C-alpha cells in the first residue's frame, strides 16, 4: 500500500471533514486582523515565540477574539514547549491539569491497571495470579494498562494514553536506560492530580495539539475537543517538536528536518497542512491481523491509531477479546453523536468508515473462527419430533434380514429381487455380469449387487452385512443381507439386530439342505428368534436344481417348520415360498415353469408385503447403536449410521456416545438417504456429527441423549437360553454391532422354562436347551441396560442368548 | 534364571541366590517371593543428609539392601518386578526399619530367604516353592520355544508373546474400519491402513530389523501366528508379502508366518489357536500346550456331565476328601494365583492340598500359570479344578458362600 497515496487521501478526508464552516467574510477579516496582531505581539514579546496561524486563530476563537488573552495563552504554551524541547522528557509535567481532561477517564484506568483486571474476561482467566506475573514482562506493562482502560473508559483518552504508551515504548527501545523509569511513570500520566515525575511530553503535547488545533477549525462545534480526541484529528506541526521525534523511526513520513521550517513559516498553511496529514493509517497488515472493531471510528485513519494499533492490538485486545464486538464501540458512539450533530459534515466519511468497519469486523470474526477449539453451533429447531412423525404419514416401512447357511443363495436372491423391482439399473447388472464372468464366477453376478467388497467378490462369499432399499406400492423395505459363513456370525448378529422380520433362505439342493440345517440355518434361525424377531419367511431356494420337486419342498417345509416351531416361532408367522434366485421364479413374478403348477401360494414379494406395521418405542429415551463410522463427504467429515432403536432425535441435538462419554452435535441427518430434520425409532439414519473426535466413535457404541444416558456397566445378570453347555468361561458378548470380550463369572440358577422359577441353584454346568440365570462380567465398561437382548458366543459358536435383567 | 547358591535347610528355611536372565524370570521371581520373605539385592537409594548448618545434600548411593518383603508389584508387559518392604540390615546410609522398594534387574543377583519361625509362622520353602524354583531354574535350557501371536479381526489386533509360563499381551491395535458401503472403497482403504498399523506395531514389538543388511544375519525369527476369523489373517499375510517385495528385509519374516483360524479377535480365542494342528507341530511339547490340553479335557468331562469334574475350592476339597483325586488318573489342576495369596493360612491350605494329593493320594498335580490362556480359564472356574477317578455325587454348596 502506498503510504503517499494514503496520505493524500487522508488529507482530503480531513479537509472534507474539518472543512471550514465558511464563516462570513467580515468575521474572517476580523479574525485575520486579530491573528496578525497576536502574531506580532508574540514575536515582539519576551521571550519571542512563533506560532502558526492556525494556532493563533484557534486561540482567538477560544478567547472570543480577545487578543491579549490569546497572546498570553500562546506565549505560555510556546514557552513551555521550548522548555520541553531543551530539557527533553523531564519537565513540562505540571501543566497537565491545565488541560481539559475528562475526569472519568482517570479512575477506571487506574482501576484496570492490573493484570488481573486486564485479563478479567480472557479465556485463560484461571491462571493463578503468580503465573500472571510472568506474562507481565516489563515492556508490556504500560501497554496493557493503557490498553486495558480502553474498552471501559469510553475510548477517548485511553487512546491517547495508548498512543503515549506506544511512543514511550519506542523511546524506551531507543534509550533502554531510560525505558524503565518512563514505563514506570506512564500510569501516572493519566492521573492529572498526580504530578508525574517525567516522561510526560508526548501525551501532553498531544493534548495540547488537540486543544489548540481543533478549536479554531470548528467554531460551531461544541464538542470539538471530544471529537478531535476521538478522531485524532491532525495536530499542527509546530507542536510536533514537542513530540520526541527521534523515538519514532518507523514513521518516516514525518520528516524531522521539516519542522524548523514550519516553525518559521507559521502562517503558511498550505505548507503545513500536508505535513499535518502525514498520518499513516494503520497498515493493511495491522488492520487485518488486528481487526478494527475496537478502533475509534475515524473518518480519517490517523497515525495515532496506526501507532497504537500495530503494537497493542496484537498483544492485547483481539487475543484477549475484552469486549465482544456486538455493540458499537465507544468511539462509534461518539462518531455517531458527531455525525448527528453535524450531519452534513461527516456523512460520507461515516458511511465509508461503516463499510470499513464491517469488513474489518468480518476479518476479526474470521480470525476468531480460526481458533483451535472450533465449535460448530447447529441450531436446533426444537421440533416436537413425535407430533412431526404423526403428521408425516410416511409409507409403511420394514427392515428384514436375510439369513441362512453359507451359499444358500441369499445375496443372489436379494440381487434378483432388487433387479426385478428395478432398484438396480440394467446397465450396472450388465457390468457386474461381465466382470463376474471375467473372473469365472458368472453365477455370482446378481450377488454383486449386495456384495460390494473386493474381497467378497473375489471369494464369492458375503462377509459383512449389506443394506439396500426398495419400495413396493405399500411398503418401503430395507434389506439387510447377512453373511452365512460361520466366521461372520457376529456381522449377521449386527444385521439381525436391525431387522423387524427375517427371510430364511434354504438351499433345497440335495445334501445342501441337510448340511445347512445342522449349520447356520439352525444357528441363524435361533439367533433371530432370540433377538426378538417374530415373523420368518422361508425362501426355499434353488428349486430349479431339484426340478421344482414338490416332494422335496414338502420335506423341507415339514422339517424346517418343526424346527422353527421348536425354536419358538408361531406357526402362523412362518411362511414358505419355493423359488429360484438365479432364475427369478416366484420372487416378483409367478414361475411359468409347468413343474411349479402345484404351487399356488404367494410370491416372495407378496409374502413380504403381508408384514404388518411395526411399532417402536418412540417415547423412550434415545438409543442407537452405531453400525458404521465413516467419512460421509467433504461437508460431513464424520458420519455414523445405524438404526434408531428407541426414542427420537433431531438436527442440533447434543448426543452422548457411550462408552467414551463424549458429546457430539448432530449437524444434519438423513433418513433412508433423504435429508431430514428429525428421525424416530425404527428408521435407518445417517447422522453427520460435529464437535467430536472420530476416535471416540466406534461401531457398536451407543448414542443417547445426555438427559437420559445409558450407563457403562462391567457386569450384568441375564436370563439366557443355553445353546451349548454353559460354565464359567470366557465368552464374546454381542449386541448388534457391539462385540466385546467377557466371561461368565457365575451360574446363578437354572430356571424352569415355563414359569421361570429356579430349578437348581448354583449349577456347575448348564445343559444346552435349558434356561438359566447367569452373571457375566466384562473387563471394560460397556453400554448395556435392561432389557437388552445379548448373544454370548465362544469358540465360534453361539453358546447362549438372553435378556438382561 | 540361574541358581547361584542354594542353602535350603531340611526344615524348609534357607536362602537361595538367583540371577534372572530373561524377562520371564521376573515372573518366576514374582511367584517365588512372598510377603514376609527376606530379599537382598543391590539398590540405588537417594540419601539425604543434613549438614550442621541445616543445609541438605542428597546423593544417590549404591547399596546392598535386605528388606522384609511387604508387597510385590509386577508389571507383566514390561516384565518388571518391584518389591517393597522394610530394610532389615544396617548400612551407613540407611536405618533399620526404613522402607525401600527394590527393583529387581536382569543379570543382577538377588538372594531370597524364607524362614520358618519357631512357631511355624512362616511357610519357608514348601513343596510348591521348591517346585517353582525348579521351574524357574532352567537347567536344560530347553524351554526356548516361544511364539508371537497376532489374534485379529476387522479393526482389532492383539499382539502377544507366548512364553513358557506367560502369555503377555504386548499391544492391542484398535482401529475403526469403515464398513462396506454402496460404491465406496473406504472399507478397503481402512483395512489396508489397519494392516499397515498392525504390521508396524508387530515389527516394533519383535524388534525386527527390516534393513537389507539384516538378510545375512542368522538370528532366528520366532514363529508368528496370525489368527483371525474369516479372511483377515490371510489378507494380512498377503499384505506382508506385498510389503516384503519392496522391503527385502521383511522376507526373513515370511517363512515363520503361520495362519490359523480363530473364532474372534480377542485374546481368549488363543486357546483355539494353540490347539490348531498347524501350531501344535511348531510348538510341539511346550508347557502351555499341555496345559491347554488339560483344560480341554477337563471341560470335556464337565460337558459330559460325568460328575468326574468338580471345580471350585469347596467342591475340589470335598472330592479330595473322598479320595477321588488319587491314583489312576486323578489330576488336581490348580492355578498358581492361589499360591500368591497374601494370606499365609490361605497358601498353606493349598500347599497342603497339593502335598496331600501328590504324596498321600498319589494323584497328579498340575500347577497352571495364571498368565496363560488356560490359567485364565481355570481362574474363571475358581482357580482350582480336578479330574476324578470316579464320579462323585453332586453336593449342594449353595448354602455356604
DSSP string covering B19-33, please? Answer: E--SHHHHHHHHHH-
Q: pLDDT confidence of B158, banded at 50, 70, 90?
A: very high
How confident is the model over A226-246, as a mean pLDDT? Answer: 45
- Asked if omega into A460 is within 30° of 0 (cis), the reply is no
pLDDT of residue B146: 75
> Does residue A379 sit within a domain?
no
- Contact check, Cβ <8 Å, A630/B269: no
- The winner for highest mean pLDDT among A66-70, A79-83, A302-306 is A66-70
> Which ranges in B276-382 belong to alpha helices (H)?
277-282, 287-304, 313-321, 344-355, 373-380
Whether the pLDDT of residue A321 is over 70: the answer is no
Of residues B119 and A313, which shows the higher confidence score?
B119
**Structural domain contains residue A617:** no
**Higher per-residue pLDDT: A705 or B210:** A705
Q: Are residues A564 and A457 in the same domain?
A: yes
pLDDT value of residue A335: 72
Q: What is the pLDDT of residues B339-385, one digit of tens each?
A: 877 777 787 888 888 888 888 888 888 888 887 878 888 888 888 88
d(CA A404, CA A413): 12
Instruction: Report CA dihedral (B381, B385, B388, B394) to the nearest 10 degrees.
Output: -50
Question: Residue B380 is nearest to which of A453, A730, A741, comparing CB atoms?
Answer: A730
| pLDDT tens sequence across A374-386 | 666 777 777 787 7
Determine whether A148 is exposed, middle or buried from the number of CB atoms within 10 Å of its CB (0-12, 13-18, 19+): buried
A509 Cα to chain B: minimum distance (Å): 25
* pLDDT at A623 > cutoff 50: yes
Q: Are A657 and A692 in contact (CB under 8 A)?
A: yes
Whether residue A372 is contained in a domain is answered as no
CA distance B225 to chain A (A): 17
- Are residues B178 and A452, on separate chains, in Cβ contact within 8 Å? no
B301 at A interface, C-beta within 8 A:
no
Highest-confidence segment of A359-363, A378-382, B233-237: B233-237
Question: Are residues A188 and A118 located together in one domain of the fold?
Answer: yes
Confidence of residue A70 (pLDDT cuts 50, 70, 90): confident
Which of A487, A730, A761 is nearest residue B377 as measured by Cβ atoms? Answer: A730
CATH number at residue A525: 3.40.50.300
Residue A366 has pLDDT above 80, yes or no: no
Query: Cell for A357?
Result: 468497519
Query: Are B178 and A487 within 8 A, CB to CB?
Result: no
Considering CB atoms only, which of B179, B263, B266 is closest to A627?
A: B179
CB of A485 less than 8 A from some CB of B? yes
Nearest Cα residue in chain B from A454: B188
Strands (E) across A609-691 are located at 623-630, 639-646, 648-650, 654-658, 662-671, 674-676, 678-680, 684-690
Q: Which residue of A has its CA nearest to B271?
A: A795
- Domain check: are A161 and A76 in the same one? yes
Count of residues making up chain A: 805
Distance CA B357, CA B359 (A): 6
Q: According to the model, what pLDDT value does residue B142 have?
A: 52
Handedness of CA B329, B335, B339, B342 (dihedral sign): negative
Same domain for A484 and A401, yes or no, is: yes
B-contacting residues of A 491-550, CB under 8 Å? none
* CA neighbor of A385 nearest in space, from A676, A666, A678: A678
| Contact call for A793 and B263, based on CB within 8 A | yes
List Cβ neighbours of A715 (8 Å cut-off, separation of 6 or more).
Answer: A745, A775, A776, A777, A778
> Would you place residue A661 in the very low, low, confident or very high pLDDT band (cuts 50, 70, 90)?
confident
Q: pLDDT by residue (tens digit) across A265-300?
A: 445 544 444 455 556 666 777 666 665 554 544 444
Please give the pLDDT value at position A423. Answer: 83
**Average pLDDT, integer, range A574-588:** 87
Tell whether A233 and A265 lie within a shared domain. Answer: yes
CB within 8 Å of chain A, chain B residues 165-184: 174, 176, 178-184
- Structure-model confidence comparison of residues A323 and A86, the more confident one: A86
Neighboring chain A residues of B269 at a CB cutoff of 8 Å: 795
Range with lowest mean pLDDT among A173-177, A238-242, A581-585, B72-76: A238-242
CATH 3.30.70.260 fits B147-282, yes or no: no
Q: How far is Cα A485 from Cα A482, in angstroms, rounded to an integer?
A: 9
Q: Given an 8 Å threshold on Cβ–Cβ distance, is A762 in contact with B299?
A: no
CB atoms near residue A601 (< 10 Å): 11
Q: What is the 3-state secondary structure (H, E, C) of A442-507?
A: HHHCHHHHCCCCHHHHHHCCCCCCEEEEEECCCEEEEEEECCCCHHHHHHHHHHHCCCCEEEEEEE
B268 contacts chain A (CB < 8 A):
yes
User: Distance between CA atoms of A78 and A488, rounded to whole angstroms?
Assistant: 96
Contact yes or no for B317/B349 (Cβ under 8 A) = no
Q: What are φ and ψ of residue B277, in 5° steps? A: -55, -40
Phi–psi pair at A620, nearest 5 degrees: -80, 165
The total number of residues shown for chain B amounts to 401
B151 pLDDT band, cuts 50/70/90, is very high
Asked whether A677 and A623 are in contact (CB, 8 A), the reply is no
Give the gap in angstroms from C-alpha A380 to the nearest C-alpha of chain B: 28
CATH assignment of B287-387? 3.30.1330.30
Which long-range contacts does A785-789 make (Cβ < 8 Å, 24+ apart)? Answer: A785/A710, A785/A711, A785/A713, A786/A716, A788/A735, A789/A497, A789/A530, A789/A531, A789/A532, A789/A735
| Residue of chain B whose alpha carbon sits nearest to that of A767 | B303
Per the listing, cell 524362614 goes with B115
State whether A605 and A633 are in the same domain. Answer: no
Q: Where among A705, A722, A753 does a domain terminate?
A: A705
Task: Count up the domains in chain A and report the number.
Answer: 4
Report the CATH superfamily, name and number, of domain B2-136. Answer: Pelota, domain A (2.30.30.870)
How many angstroms separate the CA atoms of B137 and A287, rounded?
A: 77
pLDDT in tens, B51-87: 888 888 888 888 889 999 988 888 877 878 899 999 9
Positive or negative, the CA dihedral A691, A696, A699, A701 is negative
Q: Label residue A769 left, alpha or beta by phi (over 0 means left) and psi (-120 to 50 means alpha).
A: left
Q: Which of A452, A488, A727 sits opposite B230 (nearest CB)?
A: A488
Q: Which of A259-273, A335-349, A403-417 has the largest mean confidence?
A: A403-417
Strand B331-335 with B384-387, pairing: antiparallel
| β-bridge partners, B261 | B228
Whether the pLDDT of residue A31 is over 80: the answer is no
Chain B residue numbers touching A468 (CB-CB < 8 A): 182
Work out the percent of chain A whose per-residue pLDDT is above 70: 62
**Average predicted confidence (pLDDT) for chain A:** 72
What does the alpha-carbon distance between residue A340 and residue A321 come to, in Å, rounded to a whole number? 29
What is the helix, strand, coil percentage profile of chain A, to 5?
A: 45, 20, 35
Provide the pairing of β-strand B147-153 with B156-162. Answer: antiparallel
CATH of the domain at A794: 2.40.30.10
Q: Is residue A796 within 8 angstroms of chain B, CB to CB?
A: yes
Of the candidates B176, B264, B311, the beta carbon closest to that of A629 is on B176
Test mutation, B153, B189, B191, B230, chain A, max A CBs within 10 A:
B230
Among A208-217, A237-246, A585-594, B67-76, the least confident range: A237-246
Q: How confident is the model at residue A596 (pLDDT cuts 50, 70, 90)?
A: confident
Pairing of strands A574-578, A536-541: parallel
> Is the per-residue pLDDT at A307 higher than 60?
no
- Under the banding of pLDDT at 50, 70 and 90, the label for residue B196 is very high
B381: chain A residues, CB-CB within 8 Å: 727-729
For A763, the domain range is: 712-804
Q: Is the pLDDT of residue B207 over 50?
A: yes
B304 and chain A in contact, CB less than 8 A: no
Are B148 and B162 spatial neighbours (Cβ–Cβ below 8 Å)? yes
Partner residue opposite B264 with nearest CB, options A453, A463, A732: A732
Confirm whether A732 is domain-assigned: yes
Rounded Cα gap, residues B131 and B136, in angstroms: 8
Q: Is B235 on the interface with A (CB under 8 A)?
A: yes
Per-residue pLDDT tens for A102-131? 544 444 444 445 666 665 665 555 655 565
Residue A517 sits in the same domain as residue A582: yes
Q: Residue A704: name the closest of A646, A756, A747, A743 by CA.
A: A646
Closest CA to A14 of A303, A306, A310: A303
Of A705, A723, A746, which one is at a domain's C-terminal end? A705
In chain B, where the domains are located:
2-136, 147-282, 287-387
Amino acid at each position: 500500500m502506498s503510504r503517499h497515496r494514503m496520505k493524500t487521501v487522508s488529507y482530503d478526508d480531513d479537509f472534507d471533514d474539518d472543512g471550514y464552516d465558511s464563516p462570513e467574510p467580515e468575521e474572517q477579516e476580523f479574525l485575520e486582523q486579530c491573528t496578525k496582531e497576536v502574531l506580532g505581539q508574540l514575536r515582539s514579546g519576551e521571550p519571542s515565540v512563533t506560532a502558526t496561524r492556525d494556532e493563533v486563530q484557534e486561540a482567538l476563537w477560544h478567547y472570543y477574539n480577545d487578543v491579549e488573552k490569546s497572546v498570553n495563552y500562546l506565549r505560555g504554551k510556546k514557552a513551555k514547549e521550548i522548555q520541553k524541547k531543551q530539557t527533553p522528557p523531564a519537565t513540562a509535567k505540571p501543566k497537565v491539569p491545565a488541560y481539559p481532561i475528562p475526569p472519568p477517564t482517570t479512575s477506571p484506568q487506574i482501576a484496570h491497571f492490573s493484570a488481573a483486571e486486564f485479563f478479567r474476561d480472557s479465556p485463560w482467566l484461571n491462571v493463578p495470579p503468580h503465573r500472571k506475573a510472568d506474562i507481565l514482562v516489563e515492556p508490556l506493562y504500560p501497554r496493557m494498562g493503557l490498553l486495558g482502560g480502553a474498552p471501559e473508559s469510553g475510548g477517548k483518552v485511553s487512546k491517547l494514553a495508548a498512543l503515549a504508551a506506544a511512543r514511550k515504548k519506542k523511546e524506551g527501545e531507543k534509550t533502554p536506560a531510560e525505558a524503565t523509569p518512563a514505563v514506570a511513570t506512564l500510569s501516572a500520566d493519566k492521573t492529572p492530580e498526580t504530578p508525574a515525575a517525567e516522561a510526560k511530553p508526548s501525551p501532553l503535547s498531544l493534548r495540547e495539539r488537540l486543544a489548540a488545533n481543533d478549536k479554531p477549525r470548528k467554531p460551531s462545534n461544541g464538542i470539538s475537543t471530544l471529537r478531535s480526541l476521538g478522531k485524532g484529528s491532525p495536530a499542527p506541526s509546530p507542536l510536533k517538536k514537542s513530540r520526541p521525534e527521534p523515538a519514532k523511526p518507523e514513521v518516516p513520513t514525518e520528516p524531522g528536518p521539516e519542522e524548523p521550517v514550519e516553525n518559521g513559516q507559521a502562517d503558511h498553511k498550505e505548507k503545513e497542512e500536508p505535513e499535518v496529514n502525514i498520518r499513516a493509517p494503520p497498515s493493511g497488515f495491522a488492520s487485518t491481523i488486528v481487526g478494527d472493531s475496537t478502533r475509534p471510528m475515524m473518518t480519517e485513519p490517523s497515525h495515532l491509531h496506526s501507532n497504537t494499533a500495530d503494537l497493542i492490538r496484537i498483544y492485547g485486545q483481539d487475543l484477549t477479546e475484552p469486549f465482544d464486538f456486538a455493540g458499537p464501540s465507544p468511539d462509534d458512539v461518539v462518531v455517531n453523536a458527531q455525525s448527528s450533530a453535524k450531519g452534513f459534515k461527516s456523512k460520507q466519511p461515516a458511511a465509508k468508515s461503516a463499510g470499513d468497519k464491517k469488513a474489518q469486523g468480518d476479518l476479526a470474526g474470521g480470525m476468531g473462527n480460526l481458533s483451535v477449539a472450533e465449535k460448530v453451533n447447529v441450531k436446533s429447531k426444537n421440533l416436537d419430533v413425535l407430533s412431526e412423525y404423526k403428521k408425516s404419514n410416511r409409507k409403511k416401512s420394514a427392515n428384514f434380514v436375510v439369513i441362512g447357511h453359507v451359499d444358500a443363495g441369499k445375496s443372489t436372491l436379494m440381487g434378483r429381487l432388487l433387479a426385478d423391482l428395478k432398484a438396480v439399473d440394467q446397465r450396472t447388472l450388465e457390468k457386474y455380469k461381465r466382470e463376474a464372468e471375467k473372473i469365472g464366477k458368472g453365477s455370482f453376478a446378481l450377488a454383486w449387487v449386495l456384495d460390494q467388497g473386493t474381497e467378497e467378490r473375489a471369494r464369492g462369499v458375503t462377509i459383512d452385512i449389506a443394506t439396500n432399499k426398495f419400495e413396493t406400492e405399500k411398503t418401503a423395505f430395507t434389506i439387510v443381507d447377512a453373511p452365512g459363513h460361520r466366521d461372520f456370525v457376529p456381522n449377521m448378529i449386527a444385521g439381525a439386530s436391525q431387522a423387524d422380520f427375517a427371510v430364511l433362505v434354504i438351499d433345497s439342493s440335495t445334501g445342501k439342505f441337510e448340511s445347512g440345517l445342522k449349520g447356520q440355518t439352525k444357528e441363524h434361525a435361533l439367533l433371530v428368534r432370540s433377538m426378538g424377531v417374530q415373523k420368518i419367511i422361508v425362501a426355499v431356494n434353488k428349486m430349479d436344481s431339484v426340478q421344482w420337486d414338490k416332494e422335496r419342498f414338502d420335506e423341507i417345509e415339514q422339517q424346517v417348520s418343526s424346527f422353527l416351531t421348536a425354536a419358538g416361532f408361531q406357526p402362523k408367522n412362518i411362511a414358505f415360498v419355493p423359488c429360484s434366485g438365479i432364475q427369478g421364479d416366484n420372487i416378483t413374478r409367478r414361475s411359468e415353469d409347468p413343474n411349479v403348477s402345484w404351487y399356488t401360494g404367494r410370491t416372495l414379494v407378496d409374502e413380504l408385503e403381508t408384514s404388518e406395521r411395526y411399532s417402536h418405542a418412540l417415547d423412550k429415551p434415545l438409543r442407537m447403536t452405531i453400525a458404521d463410522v465413516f467419512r460421509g463427504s467433504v461437508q460431513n467429515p464424520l458420519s455414523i449410521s445405524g438404526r434408531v432403536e428407541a426414542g427420537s432425535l433431531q438436527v442440533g441435538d447434543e448426543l452422548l456416545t457411550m462408552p467414551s462419554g463424549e458429546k457430539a452435535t448432530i449437524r444434519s441427518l438423513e433418513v433412508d438417504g433423504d435429508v431430514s430434520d428429525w428421525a424416530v425409532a425404527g428408521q435407518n439414519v445417517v447422522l453427520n456429527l460435529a464437535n467430536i473426535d472420530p476416535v471416540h466413535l466406534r461401531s457398536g457404541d451407543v448414542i443417547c441423549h445426555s438427559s437420559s444416558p445409558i450407563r457403562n456397566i462391567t457386569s450384568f445378570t441375564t436370563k439366557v437360553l443355553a445353546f451349548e453347555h454353559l460354565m464359567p468361561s470366557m465368552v464374546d458378548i454381542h449386541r448388534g454391532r457391539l462385540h466385546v470380550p467377557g466371561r461368565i463369572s457365575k451360574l446363578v440358577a437354572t430356571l424352569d422354562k415355563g414359569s421361570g422359577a429356579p430349578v437348581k441353584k448354583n449349577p456347575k454346568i448348564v445343559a444346552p436347551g435349558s434356561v438359566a440365570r447367569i452373571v457375566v462380567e466384562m473387563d471394560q465398561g460397556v453400554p448395556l441396560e435392561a432389557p437388552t437382548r445379548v448373544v454370548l458366543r465362544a469358540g465360534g459358536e453361539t453358546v447362549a442368548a438372553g435378556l438382561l435383567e | 534364571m540361574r541358581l547361584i547358591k542354594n542353602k535350603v535347610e531340611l526344615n524348609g528355611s534357607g536362602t537361595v541366590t538367583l540371577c534372572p536372565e530373561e524377562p520371564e524370570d521376573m515372573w518366576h521371581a514374582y511367584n517365588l517371593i512372598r510377603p514376609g520373605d527376606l530379599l537382598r539385592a543391590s539398590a540405588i537409594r537417594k540419601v539425604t543428609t543434613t549438614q550442621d548448618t541445616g543445609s541438605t545434600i542428597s546423593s544417590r548411593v549404591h547399596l546392598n539392601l535386605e528388606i522384609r518383603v511387604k508387597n510385590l508389584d509386577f508389571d507383566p508387559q514390561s516384565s518388571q518386578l518391584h518389591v517393597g518392604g522394610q530394610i532389615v540390615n544396617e548400612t551407613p546410609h540407611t536405618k533399620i526399619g526404613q522402607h525401600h522398594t527394590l527393583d529387581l534387574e536382569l543379570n543382577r543377583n538377588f538372594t531370597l530367604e524364607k524362614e520358618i519361625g519357631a512357631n511355624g509362622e512362616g511357610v519357608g520353602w514348601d513343596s510348591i516353592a521348591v517346585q517353582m524354583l525348579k521351574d524357574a531354574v532352567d537347567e536344560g535350557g530347553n524351554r526356548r520355544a516361544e511364539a508371537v501371536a497376532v489374534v485379529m479381526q476387522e479393526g482389532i489386533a492383539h499382539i502377544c508373546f507366548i512364553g513358557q509360563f506367560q502369555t503377555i499381551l504386548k499391544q492391542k491395535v484398535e482401529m475403526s474400519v469403515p464398513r462396506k458401503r454402496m460404491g465406496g472403497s473406504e472399507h478397503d482403504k481402512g483395512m489396508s491402513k489397519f494392516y499397515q498399523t498392525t504390521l508396524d506395531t508387530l515389527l516394533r514389538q519383535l524388534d525386527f530389523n527390516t534393513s537389507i543388511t539384516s538378510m545375512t544375519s542368522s538370528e532366528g525369527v520366532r514363529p508368528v501366528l496370525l489368527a483371525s476369523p474369516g479372511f483377515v489373517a490371510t489378507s494380512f499375510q498377503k499384505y506382508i508379502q506385498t510389503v516384503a517385495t519392496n522391503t527385502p528385509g521383511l522376507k526373513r519374516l515370511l517363512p515363520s508366518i503361520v495362519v490359523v483360524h480363530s473364532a474372534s479377535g480377542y485374546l481368549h480365542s488363543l486357546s483355539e489357536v494353540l490347539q490348531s494342528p498347524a501350531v501344535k507341530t511348531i510348538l510341539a511339547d511346550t508347557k502351555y500346550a499341555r496345559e491347554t490340553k488339560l483344560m480341554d479335557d477337563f471341560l470335556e468331562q464337565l460337558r459330559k456331565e460325568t460328575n468326574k469334574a468338580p471345580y471350585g475350592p469347596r467342591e475340589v476339597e470335598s472330592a479330595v476328601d473322598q479320595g477321588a483325586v488319587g491314583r489312576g488318573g486323578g489330576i488336581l489342576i490348580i492355578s498358581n494365583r492361589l499360591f500368591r495369596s497374601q494370606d499365609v493360612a490361605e497358601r498353606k491350605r493349598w500347599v497342603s492340598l497339593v502335598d496331600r494329593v501328590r504324596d498321600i493320594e498319589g494323584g497328579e498335580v498340575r500347577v497352571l500359570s495364571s498368565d496363560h490362556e488356560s490359567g485364565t480359564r481355570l481362574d474363571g472356574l475358581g482357580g482350582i479344578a480336578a479330574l476324578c477317578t470316579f464320579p462323585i455325587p453332586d453336593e449342594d454348596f449353595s448354602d455356604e458362600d
